[in-house]
Structure 1
Amino acid sequence: MSATIFLWDNLGPPHYDRLESAQMYFGPDRKVIGAEIFGDSNEYDWKKGAGDSARVVTLFEERSAFGTLSFLKKLAGLVRRAKARHVFVCNYDRGYILLAAALLRLMGRRVYLMIDSKFDDKPRQLSREILKAIYLLPYNGVLAASDRSQDYLRFLGFRSEQIRAGYDTIDVARLRAQCSFSVPAFAERPFVIVARLVAKKNIHTALRAFALAFRQTRERRLKICGSGPLLEELKALAAELGIADLVEFTGFLQTEAISDAVGQSLALVLPSTEEQFGQVVAEAVALSIPVMVSLACGARDELVRNGVNGFIFEPTNVEGLAYLMKLIARDELLWREMAENSKSFLPLADSARFAEAAAKFVQME
């Protein structure tokens, strides 16, 4: 039995969703293997757990044991033992991934990149983009996350037929099954932010907009789910703005608690100044919750329509975000209409799309 390998830094709930969907789509004649380089994550403290059918392999239980040569040896050994013909990887900008892609091509395997980068993520320099195009030469195709990701890949030299959409997806059924779906009254629903507490998530702007909108009326609350180095700074800002009693910092939450927090919210707010995609947007769509996202978020390309299932705003526009917050907070009919409209975006958020896109590459051989 041949296998297809999907390689990530570390596996969490979204990765298991995609692996399980791929195994279901591929069927019993092709084994799906999820390989993680490291047994833990530097960014997320998510619980470990495997899916029901896809096999999971950890190359290095301890980060201290990692080395480029040992990584290449372990990956090549896994590919040979599994008789894998197709390998999907991410983090193309790391030297050891480039070496792995080149090695796999020399072994006669087909290698695909999984990516959510966009041209507008940061200022671009021509020399770096030329170097990047060279880094991408070993790849037979790309699984991209958004429309802008696909545009960026075409800019870097990939042909349209080498690109498939559907990378940053989740299992909609899992999200809905694990959400308690308790139904707070409209007036009791808080806004929710789910993000690491780092500068590019731009939570300062969300706090200022929330204060501008509700400091006087005290009619809404804001729940911020996540951990990171800016926690104390953000708490201090909330106090300075006079909204400390309206803002709850929950810390990092596991996927079940995130589903409850989003599912019981008024709207998800993601004000990032830099956001390749924004996985939590797909989770909000899965739970039929309106979303308010900045222009920077890749997820808005396909999962958000302005005025339909949410709002799109400039990430530095405090007054504009405050206006949109007040608009949805005071119009229950609008909120219910947007929540209902979210259902039409479910197929675009679901991990079945990832599986179908990967299968098209595998079947092209």
Structure 2
Amino acid sequence: MKNWALEIEKAAIPMADLVEVPERALIDGEARLKIDVFALTANNITYAAFGDAMRYWDFFPAAGEGMGRLPVWGFADVSESRHPDLPVGERIYGYFPAASELIVAPAKVSATGFIDASTHRAHLPPAYNRYIRCSGDAGYDPDLEAEQMVLQPLYLTGWLLARYLREEATFGASRVYLTSASSKTAIGMARCLKDSPISGVKICALTSAGSREFVDGLNLYDEVHLYSDIDRMPASRASVMVDFAGDASVNRDFHTRFADQLKANIRVGGAHWEQSAPARNLPGPKPNFFFAPDHLEKARAALGPGGFQAAYGKDWVAFARSAKSWLQFREFSGAKACLEIYNGLIAGDAMARDGLTVRV
């Protein structure tokens, strides 16, 4: 297939296939981005699992009824342009479909980037509509493209979560438990809190038996617990749950064990997508969804553009440069590989230490 996209059944996300996409001519003001390479992680499964609820399906409309195109993070090159300020050959980083191309309507074009002002994206979160011109990005390093694709969107969420916990004084808790502690977003958050600890607060991992050795080896968590041990965990201290797994049974077990000592349940993702239907009538606080784009806009407003970039950029570069010590980057090629990796992520076959990318 010359021009392809991965399409997924919205109501049954294990059902996915490759479709051929007819090419169309550009109109004035548009640019064609030839997608070069993108990452596939458990975070992309969260996009699919919450596709309707969080409007992830709205970014890249699919051709088929009831189908959606999977959002991914990656790099593309401008292969054709009818926009006077965006020349052919520019390398672009941002939010793309798992596909071979994306047509955008660039607006607010500057030396550093632009937004896609396509009509169907006007009501969507601005953070996902921003595209970065690598030539104008002081933090861009071609040798760290894999790290940027695989980790930056996840690390940013972890960084914002750590900031949020500080702002809320951890809701008065002295223990913060991270489910799916082997996930890259959890690792990013744990790294932020390891490098700059919150006084009197311990950061604790919840993970599966199969991931225990990997999580221990990260040396980021003060305590590591298994899901199977929740009913025996000490529950006498005020605690917060940061939920990257989205597993209803884990939520019920944790809420039942901690009850009134649970001060907040911050729901972030759905790594355990098959068990992600919200548990009902839980003891303790109601889970509250953390939508990173909203918190990103708040952080930008509070710190100012320069202040935000200075605060976040320093932390991100240090994290990116450390990634190869715990993550194995693996690149695959072509549409078929994209579908196979997606199916593997759905089946839970990906290893925590894998950083998977697809070269289109």
| TM-score exceeds 0.5 | no
More strand by share: 2
TM-score for the superposition, normalised by structure 1: 0.32
Bigger proportion of residues as helix: 1
